Structure 1
């Protein structure tokens, strides 16, 4: 297939969401509390739809079922990846995600959730919660029960351009004033440990999942290593962030014209800054900040032209 699959994003309203998805990406968001752009998704809670071309109107999930050849014949019941942009206008709940085995048993066959974050933008002095201080399950449970959040939760400073790998079992939370691109397994399973005693529009506190959180948390916490390796090629600087069994993620910074080879089963792309053109065999596709697309199996040689930054991901 020699045509990119451009996708229409799905928006999710959240108690912690804001307007950055409209202000920074010019998206037509549903409200001033829009927290998530599900940019490339086959998950039933927000499936992406192909915008144009021979598969216009098809969802990624339908293509996964009907045209597995587009994805290199990859095995698996569900499309494995999900790309989001998150606008944390206020603090997200402190949460943790299960691994595949725990989710399969306890969440009706859902995938586990290993994810990663690229910090697109954040306010000055921004932080995120990444990990905890407990050395044993008992210490963790005791601090949760007593509400000793200040001593339990690890806060780390962040700035635009930072990248964090968040394996399942990692206690974490985005904090106020943060805009991130998230690459994750295709899962919507989240266990809330703490939600700042917030109430929703109906005056109810959101559900917590204390027992499951204690079950799946990695104790003691282990920082997941990220070794950012950059290489310069003609017209592009590529920064490789992570290789895992779930996904690989890179940042491509194009300045001018750069030639590429799509030799993966498929690749996902999100344009997070700038604009330019995707060129393939005489066909020109304009792309700009906020565009999301899949390059299917067999796409092979293509070029990008302009001043733009993309996040690329794939699974082998």
Structure 2
């Protein structure tokens, strides 16, 4: 079926959220503390719904179960990826994610969580937490128990357009004033290490998961820098940020017109800027900033016209 699937985002309110999802993308957010836009998701904690025919009103999870042909019969028991936009109006908690094996054992069969970030925008002088300075697990535990977070945590300066690969086991946190597109495994498992002693509207601190965090943190920290690979073609510049066992993530900077041969199981596309059209032999679909859509397996070729910047991901496991 040569029809792209467009989705209505699901919004998640967070203690650290703000209103930039409305200001930057025009979304109808539920409050001034909206932290996450789950843009393309089949996870039970936030399923996105198709907004165009012939599957209008169907969740991505329903399509995954009922129409495996749309996804090239991808060899997995669940939809593998999740696309988000995060508005860090305040610092996020310092956290770490488990790998598949640990999550399967201790989180009721949940996937692990390897993810990556494309920095859409950030304030001048912004930073994020990426990694730690402990040399051994014993030193890690001691520094955490003593509250020596300033000594333990590694901060990295960021600018718009930066990309960070965050494998499971990596200590990390987005910091105030950062807007990010996140591509991740379809998982909602997070082990919170430190939350700045914040309290919610009821005066309660959020739960920490120190023992599990220590179990899964990679020690010593391994800095996973990805060297972008850039191809300039007629009508587009294609930047490949990462290609691992879970996903490939690219940025498509399209100028005027670009035709693509579909060779993946399926593609997840988020329009970060600009406008244009998605063209096939069966029809033309308008594209604008803030749109999120899936290109099914059945496409042999498609064309995108206009001036757009898109982040595009595809699953790579099983290839």
**TM-score range relative to shorter protein:** over 0.9
Secondary structure at the aligned position of 1:116 is classed as: strand
CA distance in 2, matches of 1:261, 1:199: 50
CA RMSD of aligned residues (A): 0.6
Which range is displaced more, 35-44 or 299-308? 299-308
Structure 1 contact 263–298 (Cα < 8 Å) conserved: no
Deviations 1:96-126 (A, max 9, x none): 0000000001000000000000000000000
CA distance in 2, matches of 1:164, 1:209: 24
**Which stretches in structure 1 are left out of the alignment for 5+ residues?**
none
The residue correspondences of 1:248-263 to structure 2 (distance < 5 A) are 248-263=248-263
Aligned residues: 316
CA distance in 1, matches of 2:185, 2:61: 14
CA distance in 2, matches of 1:123, 1:166: 21
Q: Does 1:233 pair with 2:233?
A: yes
CA distance in 2, matches of 1:174, 1:225: 17
Shift of 1:52: 1.1
Shift of 1:231: 0.8
Deviations 1:49-93 (A, max 9, x none): 000111111111011111111100112111000000000000000
Structure 1 contact 260–303 (Cα < 8 Å) conserved: yes
Shift of 1:136: 0.2
Stretches of 4+ moved more than 4 A in 1? none
Q: Does 1:55 pair with 2:55?
A: yes
Which residue is equivalent to 1:207?
A: 207
CA distance in 1, matches of 2:235, 2:32: 38
Which residue is equivalent to 2:222?
A: 222
Shift of 1:40: 0.2
**Which stretches in structure 2 are left out of the alignment for 5+ residues?**
none
Which residue is equivalent to 1:264?
A: 264
Shift of 1:225: 2.5
Structure 1 contact 11–37 (Cα < 8 Å) conserved: yes
Structure 2 contact 2–282 (Cα < 8 Å) conserved: no
Structure 2 contact 7–49 (Cα < 8 Å) conserved: yes
CA distance in 1, matches of 2:30, 2:90: 18
Shift of 1:282: 5.3
Which residue is equivalent to 2:177?
A: 177
CA distance in 2, matches of 1:180, 1:216: 24
Shift of 1:263: 1.5
